[in-house]
Amino acid sequence: MISGMRIAGSVVLLVSLASLAASAEAWSGSPDPARGERLYATCSACHGAAGMGQPEGPAPVLAGQHETVLLRQFADYRDSARWDPRMEHVARLRAFADRDDLADIAAFLSRLDAPLPADIGSGADLAEGARAFVGHCASCHGATGQGDGARGVPRLAGQHQGYLRRQVLDAVEGRRPALQASHGARFKSLSAASLDGLADYLSRNLRRVDPVPPR
Ligand code: HEC
Ligand code: HEC
């Protein structure tokens, strides 16, 4: 059963890499953020006019996310490597079959600064979360959670805490296969308090808050 799931997972990954490569070939290479802003009208019903998502965090903040990350996640929904009925529907609309459209939207979103505060946590596990972040996550996601566009590492700073918690739980419980494959062991070792604290710490957007030093 487990090996069957692994094989199915690798097939999905291969298919999604193949389609990414195919769409990369069709891309003209000079994204147009102004055109992306117009196309973003389709997305704003859920992700908000300013790219801030929904306040309680069902739809994530997209403002300020790296272009590489936006394109990769969108392709994952389209290619069934990430599951959400709303996003799978949007990602399969004919309008977004053209990679230029998405590249333009991603160029628009990545240039937006997150103007509003995200949904943050209670503060109870903040110090624990900061320690967990510095110890287990900052090496890739950056000292302030800013991610790394060139390496395809998502910005996590300023993301809604409810959304972040749900992504980690989805990965641990097998609903986000690509994230489970890359992060499974890392996430499984987190206590409930570390997870609450991590999501809270990141949601506060470390560009504006001094990081809590490790103990
Ligand atoms: C009907 C509501 C809805 C619409 C319309 C919508 N989204 Fe989403 N989007 C969501 C939800 C909900 C999620 C989180 C799903 C999950 O947990 O996987 C999401 C997630 C995403 C993510 C993943 C972000 C991350 O940090 O991993 C990207 C990228 C994204 N949407 C881009 C878009 C773009 C671009 C459009 C317009 C072409 C769009 N969405 C339209 C609801 C929507
Ligand atoms: C070895 C590098 C590395 C480390 C260490 C790492 N990550 Fe990641 N993380 C990534 C990459 C690359 C992605 C994008 C991959 C994907 O979505 O499949 C990612 C994606 C994520 C996402 C999904 C974001 C979204 O909106 O889709 C979350 C949440 C996340 N990481 C949290 C964490 C946390 C919390 C830790 C520490 C416990 C951590 N990561 C440690 C590299 C890393």
CB distance 23 to 16 below 8 Å? no
Q: Is the pLDDT of residue 28 over 70?
A: no
Pocket test for ligand 2, best of 140, 161, 175, 200 (most atoms within 8 A of CB): 140
Please write the tens of the pLDDT for every residue from 129-158. 999 999 999 999 999 999 999 999 999 999
Q: Is the pLDDT of residue 205 over 70?
A: yes
| pLDDT value, residue 21 | 43
More confidently predicted of 34 and 205: 34
More confidently predicted of 79 and 97: 79
Contacts of residue 88, defined as CB under 8 A and 6 or more positions apart, other chains included, come to: 77, 78, 80
Do 126-203 and 2-110 fall under one CATH topology?
Answer: yes
The CATH code of domain 126-203 reads 1.10.760.10
- pLDDT-derived band of residue 18, with 50, 70 and 90 as boundaries? very low
| pLDDT value, residue 198 | 96
| pLDDT value, residue 206 | 60
94 residue type, one letter: R
Q: Is the pLDDT of residue 22 over 50?
A: no
| pLDDT value, residue 160 | 96
| CA of residue 84 to ligand 1 center, whole Å | 9
42 lines ligand 1 (CB under 6 A): yes
Task: Give the Cα separation of 136 and 165 in Å (integer).
Answer: 16
| pLDDT value, residue 56 | 84
Phi first, then psi, for residue 80 (nearest 5°) are: 60, 25
Domain map of the chain by residue range? 2-110, 126-203
Interval 105-121 mean pLDDT: 91
Q: Tell me: domain 2-110, CATH 3.40.50.1100, correct?
A: no
206 residue type, one letter: L
